[in-house]
Amino acid sequence: MLRILTIDDCYFRYNMLRKKFPATSFTGLPVLSELGFDLLKKLLTYNPEERISAEEALLHDWFHEVPLAKSDFKPIFPPLRGQATFSAD
Query: Where exactly are the structural domains of the chain?
Result: 25-64
From residue 10, alpha-carbon distances to 3, 17, 34 in Å are 13, 14, 21
Residue 67 CA to residue 81 CA, distance in Å, equals 35
First to last CA, the chain: 63
Instruction: Determine the pLDDT at residue 43.
Output: 92
Spell 15-38 as b/e; 16+ CB within 10 A means b.
eeeeeeeeeeeeeeeeebeeebbe
pLDDT tens profile 24-63: 767 776 677 888 889 988 998 888 999 999 999 999 999 8
Residue 58 CA to residue 63 CA, distance in Å, equals 7
